[in-house]
Amino acid sequence: MEADGLEWLLVPMRQLVSWGAAGAMVFGGVVPYVPQYRDIRRTQNAEGFSTYVCLVLLVANILRILFWFGRRFESPLLWQSIIMIITMLLMLKLCTEVRVTNELNVKRRSFAAADSKDEEIKAPPKRSYLDFDLNYFWHWSKFTDYVQCVLTFTGVTGYITYLWLDSSLFVETLGFLAVFTEAMLGVPQLYRNYQNRSTEGMSVKMVLMWTSGDTFKTVYFIMNQAPFQFSICGLLQVFVDIAILLQVYLYSYYPQKPVSHTAHPASTKAL
C-alpha cells in the first residue's frame, strides 16, 4: 500500500517535471533577447545588436522545421523553432525602425523593388526595379524587405525539401545543417575575441546564460533521444561557450594588450 501511495505521488511529479522541461525548451531560447528588446526600445539605439544573429537563427530554425517534415522529433523542439522565428522577426522589426529613424538623408535599400520616393533626391536610383545589392545584404530600410527575404528562402528550401523528402540522406543532411548553423552562432564572437585579444564590451552574464541554456538543451536532446544531429551540435555549442568563457578568464587575468581601444558592441550571439 505504501508503495502504491508513493507511486501515486511520483507520477504527477514526473509529469510536472516533463512539462517544465518542455516549457523551458520552448521559451528558454528567447529569454536572453527579452531584456535586449526592452533596452533597444528604451534607448532607441540598436548599434549594439547584430541583426546577423537574427539571420542565422531564422535560417537554422526554418531548416529545423523543414527537417521535422522528414523526420518527426519532439514537439517542444518544433514549437521552440516557431517561437524563435517570431522573436527574431520582432527583433528585426524593432531594429529596422530604430535604425531608419536615426539615419537621416541616407539612401534607402531594399531586398527587391526600389521605391523612388525613398531615394535621395540628388541621387536617383540606377536600377528602376531591382535594388538588391550584396554590399547591403541584410541592411535594408524596411521590415517588409526582411520578410520578403525570409519568405523567399522558406519557399525555395521548402520546395527543394518537398522534392527530396523521400531521400533519407537529404533529410539527415537538412537536420544537420539546421542544428550546425545554430551551433556556429558563437564562433564569430570567439574569433573576434581572439583577434582583439580582449573580451571588453562582451557580457559575461550573457555567456553564462548561453552555457547553462545550451547545456540544458543538450541534456534534453540526449535524455529524450532526439535525432543524433541535435545532440552532436548541442555538445559543439557547449564547447564553443566554454571556449569563450576561457577567453574571458585568460584575457582578464593575462591581458594581451592595453585596454585602450573603444569598447566593442555586445556579443553577436547573446544579442
- In the block, cell 576561457 appears at 246
Mean pLDDT for the stretch of residues 251-266: 57
- Weakest mean pLDDT among 110-114, 144-148, 178-182: 110-114
pLDDT at 139 over 90: no
More confident residue, 256 or 1: 256
Mean pLDDT for the stretch of residues 115-124: 43
Q: Exposed e or buried b for every residue in 199-236, given b needs 16+ CB within 10 A?
A: bbebbeebbebbbebbbbbbebbeebebbebbbbbbbb
Mean pLDDT for the stretch of residues 161-179: 91
In a domain? residue 258: no
User: Amino acid letter at 28?
Assistant: G
Residues of the chain above pLDDT 70, percent: 75
pLDDT at 126 over 60: no
Question: Chain-wide mean pLDDT for the chain?
Answer: 77
In a domain? residue 230: yes
- Weakest mean pLDDT among 32-41, 81-90, 236-245: 32-41
Whole-angstrom CA distances from 267 to 16, 32, 44, 139, 264 are 35, 12, 18, 19, 8
pLDDT at 224 over 90: no
More confident residue, 82 or 12: 82
**pLDDT at res. 148:** 93
* CA–CA distance, 203 with 134 (Å, rounded to integer): 31
Q: Quick one: which H or E segment has residue 242? A: helix 228-253
**pLDDT at res. 164:** 94
In a domain? residue 115: no
Contact between 240 and 190 under an 8 Å Cβ cutoff? The reply is yes
Task: Report DSSP state, residue 130.
Answer: B
In a domain? residue 188: yes
**pLDDT at res. 84:** 93
**Domain that residue 168 falls in:** 10-106+140-253
pLDDT at 104 over 80: no
Residue pLDDT, tens place only, 29-74: 788 778 778 888 888 887 767 788 889 889 999 999 999 999 888 8
pLDDT at 152 over 80: yes
**pLDDT at res. 182:** 83
Mean pLDDT for the stretch of residues 99-118: 62
Total domain count, the chain: 1
**pLDDT at res. 185:** 78
In a domain? residue 234: yes
In a domain? residue 128: no
In a domain? residue 241: yes
Q: In whole angstroms, what separates CA 15 from the centre of its chain?
A: 30
**pLDDT at res. 160:** 96
